[in-house]
Amino acid sequence: MPRRQPRDHYHVYVVLLSERVWNEPAFRKCNPGHDIVKPCVYVGMTGLDPDLRFDRHMAGVQANRFVLKYGVRLMPELYEFYNPMPYDAARDMEVELAIGLREAGYAVWQA
């Protein structure tokens, strides 16, 4: 009989992106209010451990193109206190976290 995963096993996560991502027109266009002293980040959600998900991005497995090309490291200080959570909460928190970081001056990509 297959084991069921716990209900609250979803995570939001934030990846620090190299400042070189700012050279990407699509990224710049989505971040007109970017405070240049704040970093560029990617916000995502996953049913995996965020460390494993980041490794998969960097290996090109279901990778976001900006994370694959410009990913530096995870920024757990921006997300770990939210995790874990149910799927619906993670889906909503991904959007809320991206909006909040953008409002705080971060340049954010959230797909």
Beta pairing, strands 11-17 & 107-110: unpaired
pTM beyond 0.85, yes or no: yes
**pLDDT band, residue 111 (cuts 50/70/90):** confident
pLDDT in the model for residue 7:
73
Q: Please count the CA atoms within 13 angstroms of the CA of 83 that sit on its side-chain side.
A: 21
| 7-11, 35-39, 51-55: range with lowest mean pLDDT | 7-11
